[in-house]
């Protein structure tokens, strides 16, 4: 069994290098010296010392990083709304089922794969080189996610700054961006009630924050305040990631735990407000008539909230000790993730119940999901509370932290995959810092299109297509197929047993081989058949060329798998049997890797 050292996957040139021991190399013997690897080059000289792969200082660093990445905004603004919309407690039946047939199996597969191969999201697929396109697909998806997801943080940071005022700017109608003047919200009334006008919360969001234009074809001017917020958040992300997992593992202790403190504070405040009980009952009261309608929403939510298919979980797992019990970790993290979603629902609906009671309307008229909850419904609720700026600041600070750790772990996953592509001869002392800087700068340049007047339309294109349910389901389907049927489910179970000291329950193998691929493909086909063109606020319909751009974003990741497969087949020489034997992993290759790394 392993002594906990772990091992690196086969590098591009075919070399194998142990983390804490000698390994065979293409250029000759190599030696680990003081945490670095050095060896002779082809001319007999000594190459630059290459540090061994980092590992987490403590295993809790890994747990907190996974919590920070997987537990994000979707747990707070998507799950509670879906639960209410789909029959309250009834929604939990298919949700729990999909956790065990889809969420946990793929979550565990990605972490275990990274831990076994000691590589990021691209090089882990050296186990099945023909399907290395899976790694490139996950890199494309996580790059798009890193690009557009941070806009939510920029908006949240903007609202956080505006919360530090004695009067919240979205609670009055006498601002330059309002269509009304000299009217304030009080009691059960809104500006829209007092005069035939729009809600000041919506006007602040659309006229001030977004300054939204009439369509995608009118980008308009840049919002300089929002651009500065975007820049500040990117700088923060950079300094969270630039030194690697040694620093990231410490930062997530705050960014992953403090939102729970804020959620508890908001829950205590929420349940003491009038109307909170009615709101919570709307959230959990079972509506059995909707049991037949909730399955697709439940399955899609699992793949969203578990951050599956992005490659970041693989990168995080690659920094584990080789004998870490990732099987147990997968269940613990699943419990934390889904538990947070359920708990957040009580916070959200206690506040929405209060808002419905204050306005004298049914809760269905105030229930929102996504940005509508974060930047319209909740700001409206806090504007009705005593000491409104305090509760607004707490909420948006929590929103910022929830998104921040998801963002910088996503960047970490992308950078890890990129750096793993370059062998030791390209090693540079500051290559990580440079790679992170280039990644952040490139994403920031693309993000400038989202801080214009037409930026919301660009944001929705990325959100709806680039990392949509279809792309994630397609990715998850092929991950299961490749591991179970190309590499071999039994072989991978043996590899996991070699790491953790025992074989996981056969249910995992059954899921990878049959159940999970069927679930993924079934939901994928449902989304494809029921596809609807993208709209904004159910009013603005995107032009045909906007949809073309959206489908290009989606296909840029989905086509990586078949294109890469065909490319490798056409480039290979020999008969199909000879080619398949060379590019499909065999038991002897695995034995050679284990032998070279001191595994028994």
Token pair for residue 52? Answer: 């061994």
Under DSSP, the state recorded for 189 is B
Cα-to-chain-centroid distance, residue 558: 17
Alpha-carbon span 263 to 504, nearest angstrom: 35
Collapse the DSSP code of 599 into the 3-class scheme (helix H, G, I; strand E, B; otherwise coil) and give the result: coil
Residue 337 labelled as part of a binding site: yes
Q: 144-164 as b/e, with b when 16 or more CB fall inside 10 Å?
A: bbbbbbbbbbbbbbbbbebbe
| Torsion angle of the four alpha carbons 334, 100, 554, 81, in this order, in degrees rounded to the nearest 10 | -70
Token pair 């929420």 is found at 270
* 409 Cβ contact list (under 8 Å, min separation 6): 65, 68, 69, 248, 252, 312, 316
Q: 524-532: long-range contacts at Cβ-Cβ below 8 A with a sequence spacing of 24 or more?
A: 524/469, 524/470, 524/473, 524/474, 524/477, 526/296, 527/296, 527/300, 527/468, 527/469, 527/470, 527/473, 528/470
Residue 19 labelled as part of a binding site: no
Residue 223 labelled as part of a binding site: no
Collapse the DSSP code of 358 into the 3-class scheme (helix H, G, I; strand E, B; otherwise coil) and give the result: helix
Alpha-carbon span 408 to 390, nearest angstrom: 27
| 3-state class percentages of the chain: helix first, strand second, coil last, to nearest 5 | 65, 5, 30
The dihedrals phi and psi of 401, each to the nearest 5 degrees, come to: -70, -40
Residue 305 labelled as part of a binding site: yes
* 578 Cβ contact list (under 8 Å, min separation 6): none
3-state secondary structure 515-541: HHHHHHHHHHHHHHHCCCCCEECCCEE
Instruction: Note whether 423 and 11 are within 8 A (CB).
Output: yes
Instruction: Note whether 476 and 515 are within 8 A (CB).
Output: no
Collapse the DSSP code of 292 into the 3-class scheme (helix H, G, I; strand E, B; otherwise coil) and give the result: coil
Q: Angle, nearest 10°, between helix axes 326-359 and 276-284? A: 130
Instruction: Note whether 19 and 8 are within 8 A (CB).
Output: yes
Task: Please count the CA atoms within 13 angstroms of the CA of 590 that sit on its side-chain side.
Answer: 17
Collapse the DSSP code of 7 into the 3-class scheme (helix H, G, I; strand E, B; otherwise coil) and give the result: strand
Q: 376-382: long-range contacts at Cβ-Cβ below 8 A with a sequence spacing of 24 or more?
A: 376/201, 376/202, 376/205, 377/352, 378/348, 378/351, 379/159, 379/168, 379/170, 379/201, 379/204, 380/170, 380/199, 380/201, 380/355, 381/351, 381/352, 381/354, 381/355, 382/168
Nearest to 80 by CA among 363, 466, 476: 363
* 396 Cβ contact list (under 8 Å, min separation 6): 156, 157, 159, 160, 163
Cα-to-chain-centroid distance, residue 84: 23
Residue 75 labelled as part of a binding site: yes
Instruction: Note whether 162 and 175 are within 8 A (CB).
Output: no
Residue 339 labelled as part of a binding site: no
Residue 71 labelled as part of a binding site: yes
Q: Which residues are annotated as a binding site for Na(+)?
A: 68, 70-71, 75, 305, 337, 402, 405-406
Q: Which residues are annotated as a binding site?
A: 68, 70-71, 75, 305, 337, 402, 405-406
């Amino acid at each position: 069994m392993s002594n906990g050292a772990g091992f690196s996957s086969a590098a591009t040139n075919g070399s194998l290098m142990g983390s804490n021991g000698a390994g065979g190399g293409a250029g000759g013997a190599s030696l680990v010296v003081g945490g670095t690897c050095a060896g002779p080059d082809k001319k007999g000289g000594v190459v630059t010392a290459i540090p061994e792969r980092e590992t987490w200082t403590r295993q809790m660093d890994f747990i907190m990083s996974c919590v920070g990445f997987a537990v994000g905004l979707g747990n707070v603004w998507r799950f509670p709304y879906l639960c209410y919309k789909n029959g309250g407690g009834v929604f939990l039946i298919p949700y729990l089922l999909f956790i065990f047939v889809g969420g946990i199996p793929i979550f565990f597969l990605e972490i275990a794969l990274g831990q076994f191969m000691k590589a990021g999201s691209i090089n882990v697929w050296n186990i099945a080189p023909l399907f290395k396109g899976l790694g490139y697909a996950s890199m494309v998806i996580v790059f798009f996610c890193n690009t557009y997801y941070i806009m939510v943080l920029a908006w949240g940071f903007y609202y956080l700054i505006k919360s530090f005022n004695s009067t919240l700017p979205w609670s009055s109608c006498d601002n330059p961006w309002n269509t009304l003047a000299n009217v304030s919200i009080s009691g059960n009334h809104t500006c829209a009630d007092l005069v035939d006008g729009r809600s000041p919360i919506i006007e602040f969001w659309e006229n001030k924050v977004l300054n939204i234009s009439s369509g995608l074809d009118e980008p308009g001017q840049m919002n300089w305040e929002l651009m500065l917020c975007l820049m500040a958040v990117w700088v923060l992300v950079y300094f969270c990631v630039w030194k690697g997992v040694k620093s990231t593992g410490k930062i997530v202790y705050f960014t992953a735990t403090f939102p729970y403190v804020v959620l508890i504070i908001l829950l205590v405040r929420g349940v003491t407000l009038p109307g909170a009980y009615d709101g919570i009952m709307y959230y959990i009261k079972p509506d059995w008539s909707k049991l037949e309608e909730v399955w697709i929403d439940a399955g899609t939510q699992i793949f969203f909230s578990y951050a599956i298919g992005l490659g970041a979980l693989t990168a995080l797992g690659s920094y584990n000790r080789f004998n870490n019990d990732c099987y147990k970790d997968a269940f613990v993290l699943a419990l934390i993730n889904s538990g947070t979603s359920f708990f957040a629902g009580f916070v959200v609906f206690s506040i929405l119940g209060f808002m419905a009671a204050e306005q004298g309307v049914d809760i269905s008229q105030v229930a929102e999901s996504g940005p509508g909850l974060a930047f319209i419904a909740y700001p409206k609720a806090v504007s009705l509370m005593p000491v409104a700026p305090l509760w607004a600041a707490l909420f948006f600070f929590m929103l910022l932290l929830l998104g921040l750790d998801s963002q910088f772990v996503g960047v970490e996953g992308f950078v890890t995959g990129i750096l793993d592509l370059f062998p030791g001869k390209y090693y540079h002392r500051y290559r990580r810092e440079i790679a992170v800087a280039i990644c952040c700068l490139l994403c920031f340049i693309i993000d400038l299109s989202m801080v214009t007047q037409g930026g919301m339309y660009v944001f929705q294109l990325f959100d709806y297509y680039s990392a949509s349910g279809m792309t994630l389901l397609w990715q998850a389907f092929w991950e299961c197929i490749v591991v179970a049927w190309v590499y071999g489910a039994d072989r991978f179970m043996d590899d996991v047993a070699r790491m953790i000291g025992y074989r996981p329950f056969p249910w995992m193998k059954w899921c990878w081989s049959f159940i999970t691929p069927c679930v993924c493909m079934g939901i994928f086909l449902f989304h494809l058949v029921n596809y609807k063109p993208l709209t904004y606020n159910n009013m603005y319909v995107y032009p045909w060329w906007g949809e073309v751009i959206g489908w290009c974003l989606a296909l840029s990741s989905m086509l990586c798998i078949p294109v890469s497969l065909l490319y490798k087949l056409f480039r290979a020489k020999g008969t199909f049997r000879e080619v398949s034997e060379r590019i499909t992993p065999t038991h002897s290759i695995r034995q050679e890797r284990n032998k070279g790394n001191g595994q028994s």
